[in-house]
Structure 1
Amino acid sequence: MTETARKRRGLGRSTVFDVAKLAETSAITISRYFKQPERVSQEVRERIRKAIDELGYIRNEAAGGLASTQGRIVGAIVPSVSNSIFAETIQGLSTTLSQHNYQLLLATHDYSSETEEKIVKAFLGWLPRALVLTGATHSPATEALLAGLKIPVIETWDIQADRPYPQIGFSHIATGREMTQYLYAQGYRRIVYVASSISSDFRARQRAQGYEESMRELGLAPQIVQSLQGAPLDAGEQAFSEQMARAERPDALFFANDNMAAGAIYQAARMGIRVPEDCAIAGFGDFPASEKITPGLTTIRVPRYEIGRLAALAILQRLGELPADQATAQPAPLAYELIVRASA
């Protein structure tokens, strides 16, 4: 890699002229490569592609478009918008930013680190004023991209030590510990944690870690199982059926999220198994349906809208839109709440 490439790689600062020079062609040809690639020969296209990769060139997608919002864009990346948890965080972000005439550019990565990296690169082409990420675990390539940015980066939904970015979130390990300790206090001893079917859901894995730590401290053997079903309701149903088929049934199931726990409650009704008398069920997230199902679901409520609102305020303060005393990223984890209902 050339010295120029090393300086510019991942920073989004290389220009079309840098690419043209390295590819030994013209800026007009580079423009044609993006807009009309069929008019560029295969040999020249390959040279341009290699130059783009070496320089870490990011095309300015904002040029010539979005004139009314150019310079007022904040990029946000979440795992999913189908989950009400993240939908409320997005609402908190969007509502707060729009009050100061900033627009939210949103994308989802479906729990894929590789997709997150591609989205970050694509977002940088729109010249955002800030980026909001979900969680504090990213691929090495994404970490390298972020490290070179000169714009605010906020991490949400997690709190991890030694991160270089402000964090708006809470400890998932602590939530796992608290639910486990609650179930123990209620007299349950054969407590099984049912993990998310999404292996790259790092925050669910942290809750499992909290469960495991607490079980060992209480002198109990932790048991972590995982359903192979993709859809959360189906995963919960399958996991419940499998656990009830064991010779020694668990007396409590702690699910990675409320949708899985709801699936288990529905399956228990179909099987004629009483909740919580025969088996207690607990979840995480306090989804809208959690208090409406029968029995109501014991769960952990987290400040999902507040996470988005505080992230937006932290950005606005760093962009000079607010006085410093009105918004700062929280140095301590945000509060969450154990919600006790009839299921456990």
Structure 2
Amino acid sequence: MSDTGHIENIREALTAFRHGIRVLEDHLAPDAPDQALTEALTPALETILAMKGRLIVSGMGKSGHIGCKLAATFASTGTPAFFVHPAEASHGDLGMITKDDVVLMLSWSGETRELGDLATYCRRFRVPLISISGNAQSTLAKAANVAIALPKSPEACPHNLAPTTSTLLQLAIGDALAVALLRARGFSEKSFFDFHPGGKLGASLTDVGEIMSKGDDMPLVGQDQVVFDVVSGIWGKNLGIVGITNDAGDLIGVVTDGDLRRYLAESSDTSMQAAMRETKASEIMTADPICLSKDMLAAGALARMQKNKISAAYVLEDGKPVGVLTLLQLLNLGVA
């Protein structure tokens, strides 16, 4: 088969996936003739929101693999969840499930034999059961407290056998449920960081207050101090910036190494030393500089600094400088 043939096969598969998603969207439209799917999703969400325990996700085969991914998505977005393999559940792992939990089962046919013991356990101990299947009349759907029946759409497999479009729809509706729960709970970027402290994502969600230079590492000069003091502040702390404060300790401006270079370039060699001892910091500063807050996320701080084309910014609290953050610090942290 030619390369063109391979690409055409891939395009046909993607077309099948796109069709499946479109069918799913159409079933959720306000004017859809069949509102069964829409009517099932709200009680499913409310059941999960009301639970005191964990969301237990289970499924067999390809549906089980999708279930593992969904459990990870739920857990990372504010809904405590984990995956229980149905075969292992029948051999003792049912003990992981309590009355405070909610069980979410995935089976496209709704007739997966291995889910039987878990469904029976839920009914016996009154553990709420939510099913996601492709058959509203299946054994699993009938056993569930809330049955989410997904619309049928041809598999991408040319024989319409290998679970492809069907597993995509399970994944899509599961992830959509997780996002809806995230929004309902008011799950914030900070909450997200609590569950993602590692890697670039974790770095991006770190508070500015945790990484800024502060205390003696923060260069500050009074407005009436002279340029010599500004030079000492910039070069002594090696941050490329010094903050200028008034008598009340409020930040009224900054002098960057660029500001300093421009000032020195405009001064003649014979008068430079005298000027540096007479010119006040307030005369060469940039007033009303771009500033940050301690609770701003590192990613947001980076975006603001890049937008304003600055390499350092002071962090204020009630108008007073409490820290300074540089692009280099963000780069070293791994944000950019």
TM-score by length of 2: 0.31
Bigger Rg, which one = 2
Higher helix share: 2
